[in-house]
Structure 1
Amino acid sequence: MKKKILLLMGVFTFGILNAQVGINTQNPQATLAIVSEGNTSTSQALAVENVSGTEILSLRDHGHMGLGVNNPMVRLDLRDGVNNSIMGIGNSSQTATAAKAGALKYDSGPQALYLSDGTNWNKLSANVIRTYVVADIINISQSFATNTSTTVMNWRELEDLLGTFSPTTGIFTAPRTGTYTISAIVTFDAGLVGANSYMQMELISPSATVKCQTTYYGAATFQTSVLCSGNFQLSAGETLKSAIYHNMGTAKSPKAGYCNLSILEN
């Protein structure tokens, strides 16, 4: 007898799982079909309340849904009058054409919102904090050998809004894709300068290098310096640094207080 009951229960359960259920309709066209009794903004198709009786979801018969909003005024309404009425938007690899016009996505690389126009993803304007780096050299702990390109290191960081610059290594890392302007000046202590020599600064990114030179025709003993600036298009995570090359014949050291660096995101 027990086996027969279990068999019947199994058949009955199987029948329910494969049936179409209708609420307020005798002819359901889906696994679960719900037909409301109205078709205007004043009638409600679905309501969900929490245990306190507060309505947390409302779907009106004209297709407007509210989350915490009893009377949604737009297709999706989150404006419940409190300070956490926010919506999370995730990243997507879809093309703008596939997503269609009006779609939104968040790109974690540049940390920006994009709106599809049906063809392209267009970056929405925002008040993004732009990186800004200022540094100088006051402690002399580096020497620049002749006929050698040497990265300028051991800066003193004065300003770095987003923590994008390593003063020890002298390497800047772009926080997002964009255009960055770098300007630097390095001055050597007074010393012997050979005839027909030069001091060259190199501003180096993974895809481009800008070089600036100061040339000296007569041999003498004096301070030498070079100033250089440039604009670089960097992708998020790409680096930028300054280096010095000279052929003055002897190793040179920077002069404290006469070396400065600035990097600005445009």
Structure 2
Amino acid sequence: MTLIQIHKGINKRLILSIFCCCSGFFYAQIGIGTENPKGALHVDGARDNASIGTPTGSQVANDLMISKSNGFMGIGVLNPIVKLDMRSSDTENAVGLGATTMAASAAGAGAVRYDVASIPVGAKIEVSDGSVWNKAYVAPQKAVVVVRKITSQSIPQGSATVITNWNVIRDMSNSFTPGTGEFTAPRDGTYTFLLTFNFTGTVINDGSRVESQFYNPVTGNILASVYKTFGQSMTGTADDANSTRSTQAGGSSTVTLTLAAGTKVVTRLYQNLSSGAVSLRVTSNSSDPANPDDGFNNLTIIEH
């Protein structure tokens, strides 16, 4: 064997050894921008990871990781638990989708695209079921308002008065202003209003009434009204032994309205029960549900 042949053999073995070593290294883990990779592939976008130890949450936020245990990809996540995991501590975890002209059958069931054709109701996320693209519908948070009166309010005789200063129990869509008593429709739709009312005791005029009004304070229009009539239980005449009796007037009103988004509605009460103002019956201790004056004046609003 010549010297040249021996030299060539050594070179081949050396190249093969280097290749095997490099293959073994790449099989273990690769770090780009970091000398301390934590996965099969670890890219440190900001090159801010420490050379030893586990990077902090803020350091990981700009990293891309392919797990060496399951092959899952994490963006800003060290230990992805689904095939693509972006649930980092960072605030920029949005996924950007684009349009495609592929048929739903070609894209396959489960494919997702962003339809920008605005047909028929504007740009939407669409999901393929393997046959057609279906627009994804996200149901809005429906308006549900529950409020009650725990502060006294006097309703003058013969003048419709807005009920104000409500105590909010629930407002699912932040559509109600308790101080003014204004409800603002969050979207075009149908809304049901249920008002219950009760006055303090007074001598009631025979043939009097209480009118619940659902009123638009912007346009000045009464959108709906409900009447309840009252009569004296004791009139003060001879057949009642010349006596009168203080009586509490109360009732409930339910209306359903079709409202455009942004329409404002307040509830008003009109009364001619007596010759003067009559106060609403409210509790003297709102923290005590067993208080005998609690729970008489309430308003519930539900969006359908």
1:26-175 matched pairs, under 5 angstroms: 81=84, 83=86, 84-87=94-97, 102=119, 105=122, 125-140=137-152, 142-175=153-186
Deviations 1:145-179 (A, max 9, x none): 11101011111111111211111111101111111
> Does 2:242 align with 1:231?
no
Q: Which residue does the alignment assign to 2:297? A: 259
Does the 8 Å contact 2:215/2:266 carry over to 1?
yes
Does the 8 Å contact 2:213/2:222 carry over to 1?
no
Opposite residue 223 of structure 2, the aligned amino acid is T
Query: Could you list the runs of 4 or more consecutive aligned residues of structure 1 that deviate by over 6 angstroms after TM superposition?
Result: none
| CA spacing shift, 1:189–1:180, aligned 2, 3 Å | same
SS of the residue corresponding to residue 146 of structure 2 reads strand
Larger radius of gyration: 2
In 2, distance between residues paired with 1:198 and 1:127? 42
| CA spacing shift, 1:143–1:178, aligned 2, 3 Å | same
Which of 209, 229, 235 lines up with 2:223 in the alignment?
209
SS of the residue corresponding to residue 191 of structure 1 reads coil
Opposite residue 259 of structure 1, the aligned amino acid is N
User: Which is further off, 224-233 or 205-214?
Assistant: 205-214
Does the 8 Å contact 2:204/2:231 carry over to 1?
no
Cα offset, 1:82, TM superposition? 5.5
Which of 164, 183, 195 lines up with 2:194 in the alignment?
183
Give the TM-score, by structure 2 length.
Answer: 0.49
Cα offset, 1:240, TM superposition? 1.3
| CA spacing shift, 1:124–1:181, aligned 2, 3 Å | farther
Deviations 1:232-258 (A, max 9, x none): 111111111110001122101100121
In 1, distance between residues paired with 2:297 and 2:98? 46
Percentage identity across aligned positions? 23
Opposite residue 277 of structure 2, the aligned amino acid is A
| CA spacing shift, 1:114–1:152, aligned 2, 3 Å | farther
Deviations 1:208-246 (A, max 9, x none): 522112212334421001311111111111111110001
Deviations 1:50-93 (A, max 9, x none): xx9x9xxxxxxxxxxxxxxxxxxxxxxxxx9454333499xxxx
Give the TM-score, by structure 1 length.
Answer: 0.55
Opposite residue 153 of structure 1, the aligned amino acid is T
> How many correspondences in the alignment?
167
Opposite residue 200 of structure 1, the aligned amino acid is E
In 1, distance between residues paired with 2:159 and 2:207? 17
